Amino acid sequence: MRFLFTISLLLCFVSAYTQTVAGLWRGRFTGNNAFLLTENYKYELLIFQEGDKLSGFSYSTLLDGNFYAVCEITGTLFDGYMVITETKTLYENPPGDNNNFQTHILFLNADNKEATGDWKQANKRITQLLQQEGKTFLKREDDPTKSGLLKILEKKNAVVIAPSTPTPQQEQNIQQTNTDSVKLATRPINILQTISISTDSVLIELYDDGLIDDDSVSVFSNNQMLLSKIALSDKGLKQTVVLPASSDELILSLFAENQGTIPPNTGVLVIRTGDKRYEIRFTSDATQSAAVRIKRQ
């Protein structure tokens, strides 16, 4: 699966279900065996968030990064903490079949910028005497250029790191001239509707909702860029979307590139499948992205 990333600000919130843990986290972990106690293991998480459901990637490396493992992760956000579990090894060096997955219980601090807790081995082998476990220490990272995980994902053609072009107002509001973060992962998605279809594709149409005020959105299909920075108007933009053969559903996310001259960013998404037509009014802003789940019957 190929993901598109660009430059933006990482956002954080306070309450349990309005907060976001989406984005990049960097730090380290320790362990209970002699090897883990003496070696310096670095650890990173790249988290995507849908409500309280989490997904993404983990990265663990020893010393200079020549030895590493990248895994898929799933997780859940609770009130004040999150649980993250590694489920599949994607890349590792040197190649092997170690598959020593970890489950991390991470407690968030008051400003939601640090996460600390415990981890345990998620798949203890019968031949093991002791289950591996230890402590985890992570901080939010605003600069992806410091991330070993993103470098590997980009090298493997799993992500694309792209610079943004901030508006004059954004440049005035932020102090950094090269503000970095992961685009779609910076905002939780809000599923507005689930649509069941009996075909392999749908036709989508995008319109501005009401007064034309220069709203612009990017459309993602399962975290992959589909349409980039589309200006919403009364004319409508049409695009056919094909469900992936490897999955029975996809999520269309509408990422607000701006809020137009009259905030927030509002629009109308029309989905046509067969003789059925669905009209969905959406609102996206700097705190969340509207989304629709499309499922194959």
Q: Mapped to the 3 state alphabet, what secondary structure does 192-207 carry?
A: EEEEEECCCEEEEEEE
Domain with CATH 2.40.128.120 in the chain: 3-162
pLDDT at residue 164, rounded to an integer: 42
Give the 3-state secondary structure of residue 152: helix
Q: Taking residues 189-209, report their average pLDDT.
A: 90
Best mean pLDDT range from 59-68, 69-78, 92-101, 194-203: 69-78
The whole-angstrom separation of Cα 184 and Cα 2 is 13
Beta bridge partners of 242: 201
Compute CA distances 196 → 10, 199, 205, 283, whole Å: 33, 9, 18, 22
- Residue 110 clears pLDDT 50, i.e. is over it: yes
**Three-state secondary structure call for residue 109:** coil
Q: What are the start and end residues of each CATH 2.60.40 domain in the chain?
A: 187-296
Instruction: Please tell me the least confidently modeled range out of 15-19, 52-56, 138-142, 205-209.
Output: 15-19
Domain 3-162 coded CATH 3.30.310.80: no
With 0-12 / 13-18 / 19 or more C-beta atoms within 10 angstroms meaning exposed / middle / buried, residue 163 is exposed
What is the per-residue pLDDT for 260?
85
Q: What per-residue confidence (pLDDT) applies to 78?
A: 93
Radius of gyration of the chain (CA): 20
Cα 164 from Cα 202, distance rounded (Å):
30
pLDDT digits (tens, 9 = 90+) for 34-44: 555 556 689 99
Instruction: Please name the helix (run of DSSP H) or strand (run of DSSP E) that holds residue 173, with its range, or none.
Output: helix 168-173
Tell me, what amino acid is at 85?
T
What percentage of the chain carries pLDDT values higher than 90?
Answer: 32
How is the beta sheet containing 201-208 ordered, strand by strand? 237-242, 201-208, 265-273, 276-284
Confidence of residue 81 (pLDDT cuts 50, 70, 90): very high
- Residue 110, number of CB atoms within 10 A of its CB: 8
- Coil, helix or strand at residue 158: coil
- The pair of structure tokens assigned to 144 is 């992806």
Evaluate if residue 73 carries a pLDDT over 90: yes
89 has pLDDT over 60: yes
Q: How many CA atoms lie within 13 A of 45 on its CB side?
A: 32
Q: How many CA atoms lie within 13 A of 147 on its CB side?
A: 30
- Which pLDDT does position 31 carry in this prediction? 82
Mean pLDDT confidence for 83-92: 93
Contact 192, 280 (CB under 8 A): yes
For residue 75, pLDDT over 90 is answered with yes
Domain 187-296 has CATH 2.60.40: yes
pLDDT tens-digit series, residues 48-64: 888 888 988 999 997 66
- Give the per-residue pLDDT at 157: 63
What gap in Å lies between CA 21 and CA 36, rounded to an integer? 27
pLDDT band at 279, cuts 50/70/90?
A: very high
Cα three-residue angle 23-215-46, rounded to 5 degrees: 10
Rounded (5°) CA angle 72-51-186: 70
Closest CA to 254 of 211, 207, 296: 207
- Residue 165 has a pLDDT of 44
Q: What is the mean pLDDT of the chain?
A: 80
Mean pLDDT, rounded, for 82-107:
88
Taking alpha carbons only, the member of 187, 45, 189 closest to residue 108 is 45
Query: What φ, ψ does residue 13 adopt, rounded to 5°?
Result: -130, 170
Range of lowest pLDDT (13-17, 66-70, 144-148, 289-293): 13-17
User: Given the structure tokens 């969340």, which residue do they identify?
Assistant: 288
Going by the DSSP 8-state scheme, the letter that residue 68 receives in this structure is: E
- Res 174: pLDDT: 33
